[in-house]
Structure 1
Amino acid sequence: MDLEVRHLRVVCAIADAGSITKAAAGLGLSQPSLTAQLRRIERYLGGPLFVRSRQGASPTALGEFVLAKARTVLPSIDAIQVESALRAGAAPDRRPLRYVATPGPLMVGLLEELRELFPGASPALRTETHVPTAVDLIASGQQDLAAVVEYLRPVPVPPPPDVVARTVATEPAFVLLPAGHPFATRPAVGLAEFADAEWVLPPNQACGLFEAFTAACVDAGFTATIRHEAESSAARELVARGTAVGLGQATFRSTPGIVPLPLAGCPLLIRQVLLWHRDGPLAAHAREITEGAERAYAAAVRRSPHYLAWLAERPPPGAEQGWAGAGDAPP
């Protein structure tokens, strides 16, 4: 047999899943069928690629070599397949345009823009709460495009060398208060006034929130009490019940019982960032995709009266840190 692209995908799928059983489920194959494929690939390459145990499948030295080569080759092959389909206006033979996003205004809004921009590519969304996982999916070629939310932290974290980052918008973080809170009717409030508050923040998503929040509180002269770590639905309920105060993006959607309030001096800034592989299928479409993301973000702003009121008083904040600058894609 000859080594084919699909064989490289099989090897990567097993490594990513950590077991043949999980990889088979992800590929839509039976476990015996995938095992047989792997044996044929191993015979062709001259040795075992994985050590199988009760814990799963881990690459051998030969497997690590093949994986390294496969992860280098596959993004370019994917780029050819998807770019050809985009140019021809037809659906790719292998797969849809793969889009991963962390929760934010671009998550669904950009998906709609991608459908308009590339109607033949059948964009498919994968949601991901952990930012480094989304970045790794782009770096490894498993996803074509990512939209992530990043808090500007004291020490910026650059993207991997093969990942291009483009800032779509930089916005202030808003404090989320219960409607009956004494500060809820103010136009803005200083972070220091929450020195005695109990906070609810999302579980660590490695988006810079904890580092940025801790640094901002220290600058304001206190150490915050983070009483709860909860996903968005539980966090909203805790805030609405008056159990804690929280943080939200500027485009936070109106929620009964919750008042988003700007923090005086913008001590916490958030960036909406696009990511793609430097050699991936969307690299040639950076301008169109960025413009689509800007439209999606603008639509989210129009749905956020509290942010519109804030913007009416001042220009949006600039992107001084994070991935902005040399790591950003050219316009």
Structure 2
Amino acid sequence: MSSSSTDAPDPGPAGAGNGPAVSRREFDALFESVRTWGRWAPADRGAWNRVTADHVRRAAARVRSGTVVPMALPWNTRPGPDNRRPALHHMTDVGDVESPEPSTHKDFIAADYHGKAVTHLDALCHIAYRGQLYDGRTAREVVGAAGARFGAVSALGPLATTGVLLDLPAVLGVGWLEPGQAVHAGDIAAAEKALDVTIGEGDAVLLRTGHARRRETLGAWDADTASAGLHVDAVPLLAERGIALLGSDGDSDVRPSPVDGVHSPVHALAVAAMGVPLLDNLDLEELSAATAEAGRYEFLLVVAPLNVPGGTGSPVNPVAVL
């Protein structure tokens, strides 16, 4: 995929389709309405506490063909308008030592992964709103230079549950949603009907906007300023259904943000209010094709983040098993 800024496409009119606008006062009321603080123990697993052994068994029972679909983007070391902090990859051993046998080949990888180029999981310590993390912990008190003492990715562990793909371009008969196009609660309900799925408690919801296909076709653009994603008015529906995980081929938020003074309002609602970790920058193109061929949009989803004590998240390669 091209990542050169010289062929970055015009993402369209800023804010086109991202409304209606939401005031800070309205957003704060919405935050309170979906908040689940004090509901679970351990609190720093948040909504992942919803996923019981029964949920895992039901998810595993959805496997029919055994087709395994990975959802991680390639490790991106090329700078571009959507990759200002490229990941690192270099060889540390190229097997040039003649003895003793066997020779080895080793490499080094690193990433400042909370951006637009690396598929990753956001843990609960990643997002604070008005200075507070999920469950009301004060960010200044529990997050420091050594990492987080609450809500770290190491507290989450692996997740296996039912995944639901909301393939909006497939529903609408388009290649992709344009940057700045918002997905509302009514769009989610229409997608459920069209795809014959129902989002249930403990499910992982994956929203496909066609981001990767648009980037492949037209080139990279600055997704921090313009991206398709959820409007905040879609979040109460997801909260009502009791989801455990939310992911997208963008980062779930529509941009520009419809909320005055809040750059990533869906992040704030999902992570800080609801305790729902996020999967950002998924590649959902192969999954879109596989689910269309199978004629079903529910599957076993497995996410295994790295065990990083105090970490705010982790690069991941989630897999869907159909």
Q: Which TM-score band applies after superposition, normalised by the shorter structure?
A: under 0.3
TM-score by length of structure 1 reads 0.21
Which one has the bigger helix percentage?
Answer: 1
Which has the bigger relative contact order, CA under 8 A and spacing at least 6?
2
Q: In terms of Rg, which structure is larger?
A: 1
